[in-house]
Amino acid sequence: MKKENRLSIILRGIITENPVLILVLGTCPTLAMTANVISALSMGIAATIVLICSNVVISALRKVIPDSVRIPCYIVIIAGFVTAVQMLLQAYLPSIYEMLGVYLALIVVNCIILGRAEMYARKNGVLNSALDGLGMGIGFIVALLAMATIREVLGNGSFAGFEIPFMDMFRIPVLAQAPGGFLVFGIVIAVMNRITAKRGGVKRKSFDCEGCPSAGSCHTTRCAGVGDDAKEENK
Amino acid sequence: MFKSKIKPTVVLVSICLVTALLLSGINMLTKDIIEQRLKDKENAAFADVYPNGTKESDVDLSKYTLPDVITDVYAMSDGGYIFKANVVGKSPDLIIMCGVGADGKIIGTKVISDGETPSYSAKVFPLVEGLNGQYKGMDEKTFEPVLVGNATLTSEAYAEAVKASLQSFVILKGGSVDLRDPAEILNDNCNEALGTEGLAFSKWFEADPIVGVDAIYFTKDNGGAVIKIGELFIGIDEDGELTNGEHADKAESAKAAFNVYKNSTLTEVTLPEGAKTSVKKIYVTPSGNYVFELSADGYSMHLAEKYPNVEGKPIEIKLSLTSDGKIISTLTVSHAESKGYGEKCADESYYSQYDGKTEANYSSVEDISKATITSVGYKKAIKDAFATFKLLKGEAE
């Protein structure tokens, strides 16, 4: 496999393979924590820390963990980091801890984290995995901030808790609520698709493995029959 | 052998051990800080639930029998108390503080820690928290739970915490409160009425209608029974005589009900051709009434159909009909429906709604909120019972 440019690993997670807007992963915290900018930023940072740490450890142990128990091992590692973050937040940043509430623990089952562990960390070196985690984490934060900005400014007439004086007349309260979250999410994904299409990004023809932007680097695409192991099976 | 069997286990266990060690290290670093923060939060909450009082001392709970959910009690200088309760809502560890004044009335309540889903807590907490919440001014006698639709578990848990605080206040002031659960109270009342001890009683399923009494309770270990009329529990021995001379004015009704119970034998009848699959067994009583044993496809069976590796369990229902097709009694015998929603099909307040109904109006019973599949399955089983009843009677469907 061609050695990846380190910068491109980071940038990939922010734009062409943005976990939320392109890969459509981690939608639960995306919708739940984007009612305001502070909670979005907090969730993004917490998830990024867990993502980087778990990617590094999983990558470091990739030659040790047998295939048959890889998922349980990944879950234990990810859960360990989430628990550590929880305890540290509860001790040193209790207001953030309370703001994140139950969604902090739900980072364990965030698809982005297990997804990147499975798709990247277990096949690449420690530094590249860390950079991938960083890129995906920044992409997650950017996506959350974009949604939170729209929802809080247009929905609440404020930004990061600070009232915007003239926005009171133009508020659309539904955007701060659940239905508005879905609406904003859909619109932002549509805009992102348009931007990446214009830049010659991956055009998804379908929602199966073949249409996944990560298909090129994923070696276990049995269902689409395009991966190395699928080819091996079909010999 | 090592690679295929032992290595995966060793690796997984090692990762678990290392993770546990690291987490215990972080716990050691943060434990005291977290405890202090909770204490500070508690102290801040004191002002929210008891603004005009000063904490005098911690009450030694070992000297009293308080509801299990009460974890701490603080005595205030003016004779009131602050209670800390740990209840289970949608998630465990919902910790609530309740300030109860010297007059036994709620001053204020506050959540100091919770893991509830924010959309549910947002519906419940603003209604009941603080010094102007809906529980303000209630005491043990006037307590009424504040239940919020679509946030039932959270609001029920909050109500449990407040009720426990009010009960604890009465106990601390030297009063007495019955802390037994309803099943315990029932068994104690029945044992007292029958002159027995330690026996467990079950409610008799009315295969034949009983008039003028609310329920009959029996036990496997005694041939007698206990007749409930209003708040009275009247014991009848196996010879049909009152076990004590009390409530002689109700003796006639009680004895008549006991005779119905004693003579209500069930004889199984063959299922008629064309009987619906929900109907598992049919019995007839000497008076010509019918008892159906039904199997309803609720939410559990719906999941089993959708996911082949999920084991579903139907709702087992007992239904008795008079010879002219009126429901005498309904009972949910067993189920595996969803917690907090479908499981309400086992509440007497739900299934007793079908009593007295006929084929024309049984469907008017309101569905269980947020348990449509359970409710629809339940009603379908009853519908099948009526259809099969018609076949028994030789009527066309």
Which range (A60-64, B23-27, B194-198, B339-343) has the least confidence?
A: B339-343
The pLDDT value recorded for residue B1 is 66
Give CA–CA dist B29/B23, Å, rounded: 10
Nearest residue of chain A to residue B36 (CA atoms)? A91
For residue A80, the chain B residues in CB contact (below 8 A) are 19, 22-23
Give CA–CA dist B332/B319, Å, rounded: 9
Average confidence score pLDDT of chain A: 84
For residue A84, the chain B residues in CB contact (below 8 A) are 22-23, 26
Pick the closest to residue B314 from B296, B331, B299 (CA basis): B296
Tell me how far CA of residue B396 lies from CA of B121, B326, B348, B363, in angstroms.
53, 18, 33, 21
Give CA–CA dist A21/A193, Å, rounded: 8
The C-alpha of A189 sits at a distance from chain B's nearest C-alpha, in angstroms, of: 25
Which range (A116-120, A153-157, B112-116, B173-177) has the least confidence?
A: B112-116
DSSP H or E stretch at residue B329: strand B327-334
More confident call, B185 vs B5: B185
Q: How many CB pairs under 8 A join A and B?
A: 59
Q: What is the pLDDT of residues A1-58, one digit of tens each?
A: 455 688 888 888 888 888 998 888 888 889 989 988 999 999 999 999 999 999 999 9
Give CA–CA dist B203/B219, Å, rounded: 9
The count of C-alpha atoms lying within 13 angstroms of the C-alpha of A209, restricted to the half-sphere facing its C-beta, is 15
Mean pLDDT value across residues A155-173 = 84
The count of C-alpha atoms lying within 13 angstroms of the C-alpha of B223, restricted to the half-sphere facing its C-beta, is 8
Residue whose token pair is 């919020």: B148
When CB atoms are compared, the residue of B15, B30, B116 closest to A87 is B30
- Residue B53 is which amino acid? G
Contact A90 B118 (CB under 8 A): no
Contact A61 B15 (CB under 8 A): yes
How many residues are listed for chain A in this entry? Answer: 235
Kindly provide the ipTM of the predicted complex, given to two decimals: 0.78
CB of B67 within 8 A of CB of B177? no
Mutation target vs A (from B9, B12, B32, B153; most A CBs, 10 A cutoff): B12
Give percent of chain B with pLDDT exceeding 70. Answer: 98
Mean pLDDT value across residues B232-251 = 85
Residue B345 has pLDDT above 80, yes or no: yes
Cβ partners under 8 Å of residue B278, min gap 6: B294, B295, B296, B297, B380, B381, B384, B385
More confident call, A133 vs A161: A133
Nearest residue of chain A to residue B113 (CA atoms)? A98
Give CA–CA dist B81/B308, Å, rounded: 54
Residue A192 has pLDDT above 90, yes or no: no
Residue A200 has pLDDT above 80, yes or no: no
For residue B9, the chain A residues in CB contact (below 8 A) are 69
Chain B residues with CB within 8 Å of chain A CB: 3-4, 7-9, 11-12, 15-16, 19, 22-23, 26-27, 29-30, 33-34, 37, 91, 115-119
Residue A235 has pLDDT above 90, yes or no: no
Cβ partners under 8 Å of residue B154, min gap 6: B89, B90, B94, B116, B120, B121, B123, B124, B148
φ, ψ for residue B226, nearest 5 deg: -120, 125
Mutation target vs A (from B14, B15, B40, B90; most A CBs, 10 A cutoff): B15
Residue B176 has pLDDT above 90, yes or no: no
Q: What is the pLDDT of residues B69-115, one digit of tens each?
A: 999 999 999 999 999 999 998 888 889 999 999 999 999 999 887 77
Residue B278 has pLDDT above 90, yes or no: yes
pTM for this entry: 0.59
The count of C-alpha atoms lying within 13 angstroms of the C-alpha of B169, restricted to the half-sphere facing its C-beta, is 27
The two structure tokens encoding residue B71: 């974890």
For residue B1, the chain A residues in CB contact (below 8 A) are none
The two structure tokens encoding residue B379: 């009603």
For residue A88, the chain B residues in CB contact (below 8 A) are 26, 30
Residue B68 has pLDDT above 80, yes or no: yes
For residue B11, the chain A residues in CB contact (below 8 A) are 64-66, 69, 73
Residue A205 has pLDDT above 50, yes or no: no
Cβ partners under 8 Å of residue B239, min gap 6: none
The count of C-alpha atoms lying within 13 angstroms of the C-alpha of A213, restricted to the half-sphere facing its C-beta, is 21
Q: Which of A191-195, B3-7, B130-134 shows the highest mean pLDDT?
A: A191-195
Residue A102 has pLDDT above 50, yes or no: yes
When CB atoms are compared, the residue of A72, A79, A84 closest to B12 is A72
Give CA–CA dist B321/B284, Å, rounded: 10
The pLDDT value recorded for residue A137 is 95
φ, ψ for residue B336, nearest 5 deg: -135, 40
